[in-house]
Amino acid sequence: MRWRKVLLATLTFVIALEVALQVGALAMAWLVPARAAADGAAVLCVGDSFTFGIGARTPGASYPGQLKAALNRLGGPEVEVTNAGFPGHHSGDVLRKLAGQITASTKVVCVLVGTNDSWRHPPPVDAAELPPGGGNSGFAWQWRTLRLVQLLLHFESGSWQAVGATKVEDLAVAPGNDRERGFAELARWGLSIGKARLGRYEPDRTLPVARNDAFRQRMQAGDFAPACATAEQSAREFPESPLAWQQVVTAAVQVGQREKALAAVERLVQLVKAKPSGAAAECLVDAYLTSGQPELAIAAARQRIAQQPLSIVAWDSLQQAAFVLGRREDALQAMPEVLRLMGQTDPIRSGFIVRHLARWWMENEPQKAAALLLAAFLLDGNAEETRIAGMVAAPIMKREHFDRALAGLVGASPAACRTFAAVLDEVYADKDAETWGAVLRDHLTAMREVARQRGVQLVILSYPFHQALVEQRQREVAQSLGVPFVAIRERFDVELQSRAPQELFVADGHCSDAGYAIMAAMVAQAIAPLLRR
């Protein structure tokens, strides 16, 4: 009789648990209002920096920014276009966010992703990480106790294990002698950097320290929506704080609310005019850059530098904006100046800037570029960022350039030298290509399923440049699923027969305004028939 009591107690517990989970889900469906459909259809553009619009002079010059006008020229229906691209995103990032970005009015999702997979090698996204299908919001029936058990078993059975290809790991902390060797290597190539920090910045003292700390902690934890709410609360309570408005810009961009970010930039502009200060000027420079307005960032940075030549915020923003727009002279002036102003106080940031600096020398002075990339690794020990830079260098530079840089290095730790060489082995052999290529294929397939469950049409775009395996996977998925494929690269190949590359691309490889215009026109041609259905 005892087993019957145990069985009855177990069944009672399971039923009670199931009822509790269903009631909780139903309550959430009632408490969280469904997103109302906007008038007409909407197009959602997701992806990485080529969707975000790096290289464009203004946000409106990105391909999503030009898409609405391109559709209007074709006589299509009135639509709203949302740019949900973000620099650095790989296919896993896009997949995890997709369900939450689709609204009741979304009719088409345009996906351009994959180039960051080739060097970031993201692990597969487990189905347990994605929300169930069946709509944008509201209550959906499913056995929630079973789902809970599956999640628990998945965690117990190995969620702590590494997934995907084994990669060379970062040095946890670059040893002190390696950092000294990194700065010495820079000096050997004409970048002498003192130990002391020379740069200045103007702090905003109108925003309480506790509020600033709360925002930074949420941003660092990746809690972007709460961080945005914190920033907006700060801006309401301290409307004369330039830092509060700058934080609104930063968080709004992270959550894909571009219009909110641009509105906050305008408030900063008004604040600079009404109450000019060094803090307000530097916050505005940063806000222009963060909101994707590099032309305005350069102008504001130059103005601030004229006021305070040691403004590290202005010089840093100038070098970043110049890099985005492909302005070689501005970049080669600003990057060494930022390094000089920082001194040797922040090797991690120095390593990041040195990698950007190396890109300007890859074609003209590849040996110098190799030495700079080696110095950057010695400064921060970051194998992942070295891999990314190596992928950029591989089509331009020979492996022997890096071997010569290593051979000429004296005093660095054997571990640093071995790790740097191992990263180059990966880059030049691309031995993990099939692994990350398969993950990209699976993620694109899963995106289509997320869209299909919500009654949305998926469209896959290729990049405007040659990257054989990425495009191969994009084409395979589009063909196997029967979804439209927009062959951007083929059109650019034709355009480049009669146009200079500088017309369509900026120096770092992203599109110019003209390049994004071509992309927008091609996407409009592909999705106009879908929007008429």
- Per-residue confidence (pLDDT) for residue 362, from 0 to 100: 92
**So what's the pLDDT on residue 408?**
85
- Position 16 scores a pLDDT of 63
Q: Which tokens go with 414?
A: 């054997």
What is residue 50's predicted lDDT score, i.e. its pLDDT? 95
Q: Which amino acid is at 396?
A: I
Q: Could you list the pLDDT tens digit for every one of the 533 residues in the chain?
A: 565 665 566 666 556 656 555 555 444 344 333 333 344 579 999 999 999 999 998 889 999 999 999 999 988 778 999 999 998 899 999 999 999 899 999 999 999 999 888 877 889 998 666 765 544 444 444 454 544 443 333 333 332 223 333 344 554 445 567 899 999 999 999 998 998 888 887 889 999 999 999 999 998 888 888 999 999 999 999 999 999 999 999 999 888 888 899 999 999 999 999 999 999 999 999 999 999 899 999 999 999 999 999 999 999 999 999 988 888 899 999 999 999 999 999 999 999 999 999 999 998 999 999 999 999 999 999 988 898 888 888 888 998 999 999 988 878 888 888 889 888 887 887 656 778 889 999 999 999 999 999 999 999 999 998 888 889 999 999 999 999 999 999 999 999 889 888 889 887 788 999 999 999 999 999 999 999 87
* DSSP-based three-state secondary structure for 485: strand
Report which of 330, 340, 404, 400 is spatially closest to residue 360, judged by C-alpha positions.
Answer: 330
CB 375 within 8 A of CB 409: no
Q: Give the per-residue pLDDT at 426.
A: 78
The per-residue pLDDT for 466 is 84
Which residues are registered as beta bridge partners of 106? 42
Neighbours of 519 (CB within 10 A): 28
Q: Is 510 exposed, middle or buried (0-12, 13-18, 19+ CB in 10 A)?
A: buried
Contact between residue 128 and residue 154 where contact means Cβ atoms under 8 Å apart: yes
Three-state SS for 327?
Answer: coil
DSSP helix/strand/coil, 46: strand
Read off the amino acid at residue 259.
E
pLDDT at position 411: 81
At 176, which helix (H) or strand (E)? Answer: helix 176-188
| Cα–chain center distance at 138 | 30
Could you tell me which of 244, 252, 337 has the C-alpha nearest to residue 292?
A: 252
- For residue 415, how many other CB atoms are within 10 A of its CB? 12
Tokens 């020979």 belong to which residue? 398
pLDDT at 170: 52
CA–CA dist 416, 182 (Å, integer): 11
Alpha carbons 209 and 294: distance in angstroms, whole number: 29
Distance CA 482, CA 490 (A): 20
- The reported pLDDT for the residue numbered 140 is 42
Residue 80 — φ and ψ, nearest 5°?
-105, 135
Cα separation, 453 vs 226, whole angstroms: 28
Q: Can you give the pLDDT at residue 317? A: 94
3-state secondary structure 354-365: HHHHHHCCCCCC
Count of C-beta atoms within a 10 Å radius of residue 159? 12
Q: Is residue 189 helix, strand or coil? A: coil
